[in-house]
A and B are shown apart, each in its own frame.
Chain A
Amino acid sequence: MRIDHLAALTAAFVFPLFPAWSFEIELERNFTRPGNQEQLDIISTADLGPFTPIISAFQDENPGIDIRYVVASSVELFKALHAENASFDLAISSAMDLQIKLANDGKSVPYTSATTSRLPGWAKWRNEVFAFTREPAVLLISRKAFSALPVPRTRIELIELVRSHPDVFRDRVGTYDVRSSGLGYLFATQDSRNSEVYWRLTEVFGQLGSRLYCCSAEMIADVENGTLALAYNVLGSYAQRELSDGGGNAQLVTFEDYYNVMLRTALIPASATNVSGAGRMIDFLLRLDLRPDLVERSGFPAIPLSGSGGLDNTNSIHLGPSLLVFLDKLKRRKFLEYWSSSLRLDGEPGDRAEQRILE
């Protein structure tokens, strides 16, 4: 009896903020300053590293506001806001499709300000989802592995190169596990829309035996340490930041046939309690382009507001409800089946991640 009591007490003490929520978080950090009155809860897929300078600069500009920054995967973030209505003031995610689904399903609230009205039309939807970075998907190669090989400029060249040098690439090709990574799934589905070559590439990766990753950071590390000869669809901004820290084995390649550009987006969840604070943070993020110091420290390629120069938007993934199509239960199952059989994966194609997202 006494032990049960203690257990309950401990549980209440340890998880006071998440009483019955089942989504998983990776990290939580509080940015508090003495005397602050206001609290802003942010759930984000972005790592603390790039976001810490942004939060500090925001707190400098908006004194009196404490920030709780929770890092979660895009799927967990979606689950928290869609199924569980967890209370956060701002959601920042790289999974554009899941953000659009949150807005489409009425899980976000609109926000307008002088700053949001200057954002180009392609970078916002319904005044609920706002894009503030453009981050391309790139190919990362190991200089050691490619020392005797030409650097491929297109996917077709990559296919031919990998086919003709199976000894170099066997079990040394890395890409996202699209079953568990929201961003990986987004890049893969957009690839499949853009070109039939994608499936041939997947077939080739399957023949050689590819390694699957949850996150860009791990892929970058494995290319850097030589475990991987190449990593396909790595988030360019992360790679750039990691590579600037030294090393020198990994090299970034942008394809010439096409490349996808992900827009990192922010939205205010319907469950938000501090909407005005969240709005100020959105305005701050949309003005990131005006802070070259923050752009450099965070590594986020900011979107310029209109009036501060045009921007070629041809490669960006379109931010709109057409992204909902690949979130369709049957469409997703079909895609994963095809993807799994191309990569010659064993086991059930209907994976746990799918269950988590759609049921």
Chain B
Amino acid sequence: MMPRVSSGSIRLRLTTQLVVVAAVLSIVFVYSVWSVGKNTAETTQDKVLSAAAASIADALRTERGELVVDIPYSTFSMLEAISDDRIFYRIIVNGTTVTGYEDLPADPSLVDSRVPHFSNNVFVGEDVRTVAVKRSFSALGVPVDVVVFVAQTRAGYTRIASDVLSVAAWVGSGFFLFAIVLCLVASQSALRPLREVARAVERRGPEDLRPMRQLTPVEIAPLVSALNGFISRLESSLIRAEEFIADAAHCLRTPLAMIRTNAEIALRTTRSTPSRQALREILKAADESSRSTGQLLDHATVTFRSDNMKVERVDVVSLVADTIDRFEPVAEMKGIKLLSTPGRTTVDCRADPVLLRSALGNIIDNAIKYSPADSVIRVSTDLPLDRIRISVCDQGRGFGEKSCEMLTGRFTRGDNVEDIIGSGLGLTIVAKVVDSHQGELCIASNPEGAGTCVSIILPH
């Protein structure tokens, strides 16, 4: 049964959060690279511009009392080395433009001595970055202020910045895509221990109530220890239930025996036909009840002992013979012949004799119960394929359509036994014993005609 899915998927939540973090980091990366690139491009342009202006200013000199403006050839080379941008200049001496572009926006009053002054303007329809450098001279005792303006369009630098941005954007989106893959892998592996615990619980057999021992991450340890606590509570409550059933069966045995004894005495002393009839009914019911309580006790014993087996060397042939002896009187009462097929004299096996005897007893008991009068039950022991097989073949009605696995369930009975009282515990006990001996239980039709063969196959 699937649990109700109400609070979404941890994996989805984990992935989403990681992806959001990755997206934020990518955007921060792109933005910072872009702003650094833009800054670098602007700083570079400013530095080259001021170097160009300084080279013009440094070439200024006075000759025979006159100021000489002689632009060095290298001035514009350094500007064109970096980009294809247009270059403009203007040289103002004492407020008058002596050379250059007369309409280049320039305000000499803003320029301090020795410190390059930068401004952004528009000239011939384009954005330009302008630098101004000021020098003061004295020509024949008259102070002369020279301001050199050098301007350059910004297209090349804008392109550098946008190139940097596009590289950053590519790297950033690559990083983001890679991060998404990593997030998926990370959330997958983070949740793996949880799936492993679930699989371990799923793999367990219905009777396996041992605590979980596998190593788990700290985060899952509380879940596993809670699960273990739950398992141990479940186990102890199961044990309590078994004990209760065993106690109840035990308590019922003595009163049932008394009812039976007294009913027999009464039967012998009474002549009244209706009373005898009633007493026979009582006897029959008491027999059935004591058989059932016997089986419940057997079941409790088997359950207990299969967890604490006392394995020893057992001679299967004599065990079979003993069991046949034990059931001979009951079989005779129904006119059924119990035959042991002659074979080997001894077959040794390592098993718990109490459990094995109980299993074999239950099979024979079942066979007697469901066999018609004047039929034969054969018990044989042989060693096929180096294993030990004990088969009990009857001439009864068989088990009908139900499968072997269903028949060995507790309180489950064949399809065709509604007219006979039974608990359905017999084969459960047998199956449990066989299981605890790593053996096999085989139920098949009798190859010699009607009836069923129930075989226990044990390892040698």
Cβ A329 vs Cβ B99 within 8 A: yes
| Chain B residues with CB under 8 A of A106 | 86, 124-126
* Number of inter-chain CB pairs below 8 Å: 55
Give chain B nearest CB distance to A24 CB in angstroms.
Answer: 25
Q: Which of A312-339 contact B (CB under 8 A)?
A: 318, 320-322, 324-326, 328-331, 334
| A: interface residue count bin | 10 to 19
Contact residue among B68, B69, B70, B76 (Cβ-Cβ distance under 8 Å from A324): B76
Contact residue among A322, A329, A331 (Cβ-Cβ distance under 8 Å from B80): A322
Cβ B69 vs Cβ A321 within 8 A: no
Q: Which of B41-87 contact A (CB under 8 A)?
A: 68-77, 79-80, 84, 86-87
Q: Counting CB contacts under 8 A, is B255 at the interface? A: no
Q: Which of A282-339 contact B (CB under 8 A)?
A: 318, 320-322, 324-326, 328-331, 334
Q: Counting CB contacts under 8 A, is B98 at the interface? A: yes
| Chain B residues with CB under 8 A of A193 | 73
Please measure, in the bound complex, the distance between the C-alpha atom of A105 and the C-alpha atom of B87, giving whole angstroms: 8
Give chain A nearest CB distance to B301 CB in angstroms.
Answer: 98
Cβ A125 vs Cβ B86 within 8 A: no
| Chain B residues with CB under 8 A of A126 | 84, 86
Cβ B75 vs Cβ A325 within 8 A: yes
Cβ A325 vs Cβ B80 within 8 A: no
Cβ A321 vs Cβ B124 within 8 A: no
Please measure, in the bound complex, the distance between the C-alpha atom of A154 and the C-alpha atom of B460, giving whole angstroms: 117
How would you classify the secondary structure of chain A's contact residues: helix, strand, loop or mixed? helix
| Chain B residues with CB under 8 A of A59 | none
Cβ B76 vs Cβ A331 within 8 A: no
Q: Counting CB contacts under 8 A, is B229 at the interface? A: no
Q: Counting CB contacts under 8 A, is B329 at the interface? A: no
Cβ B84 vs Cβ A105 within 8 A: no
Please measure, in the bound complex, the distance between the C-alpha atom of A321 and the C-alpha atom of B71, giving whole angstroms: 13
Please measure, in the bound complex, the distance between the C-alpha atom of A214 and the C-alpha atom of B76, giving whole angstroms: 29
Q: What are the interface flags for B107-128 relative to A under an 8 Å C-beta threshold, 1 for contact and 0 otherwise? A: 0000000000000000011100
Please measure, in the bound complex, the distance between the C-alpha atom of A324 and the C-alpha atom of B75, giving whole angstroms: 10
Q: Counting CB contacts under 8 A, is A274 at the interface? A: no
Chain B's closest residue to A128 (CB) is: B84
| Chain A residues with CB under 8 A of B68 | 330, 334
Cβ A325 vs Cβ B76 within 8 A: yes
Q: Counting CB contacts under 8 A, is A104 at the interface? A: yes
| Chain A residues with CB under 8 A of B174 | none
Please measure, in the bound complex, the distance between the C-alpha atom of A328 and the C-alpha atom of B98, giving whole angstroms: 10
Contact residue among A125, A329, A330 (Cβ-Cβ distance under 8 Å from B84): A125
Cβ B70 vs Cβ A331 within 8 A: yes
Give chain A nearest CB distance to B208 CB in angstroms.
Answer: 77
Most chain A CB within 10 A, of B72, B73, B100, B125, is at B73
Please measure, in the bound complex, the distance between the C-alpha atom of A326 and the C-alpha atom of B99, giving whole angstroms: 12
Q: A322-B80, A330-B70 are in contact. Are A104 and B87 (CB under 8 A)?
A: yes
Please measure, in the bound complex, the distance between the C-alpha atom of A106 and the C-alpha atom of B124, giving whole angstroms: 7
Cβ A328 vs Cβ B80 within 8 A: no
Please measure, in the bound complex, the distance between the C-alpha atom of A193 and the C-alpha atom of B72, giving whole angstroms: 11
Q: Residues of A with Cβ closer than 8 Å to B?
A: 103-106, 125-126, 193, 318, 320-322, 324-326, 328-331, 334
Q: Residues of B with Cβ closer than 8 Å to A?
A: 68-77, 79-80, 84, 86-88, 98-100, 124-126
Would you give 23 A-B contacts (Cβ < 8 Å), ordered by A?
Answer: A105-B86, A106-B124, A106-B125, A126-B86, A193-B73, A318-B77, A320-B76, A321-B87, A322-B73, A322-B74, A322-B76, A325-B71, A325-B72, A325-B73, A328-B71, A329-B98, A329-B99, A330-B68, A330-B69, A330-B70, A331-B69, A334-B68, A334-B70
User: Which 5 residue pairs of A and B lie closest in terms of their CB atoms, listed nearest first?
Assistant: A106-B124, A322-B76, A322-B77, A320-B80, A329-B99
Known: A318-B77, A321-B80, A329-B98. 18 other contacts (CB 8 A): A105-B124, A106-B86, A106-B124, A106-B126, A320-B77, A321-B79, A321-B87, A322-B73, A322-B74, A322-B75, A325-B71, A325-B73, A325-B75, A325-B76, A328-B100, A329-B99, A330-B98, A331-B71
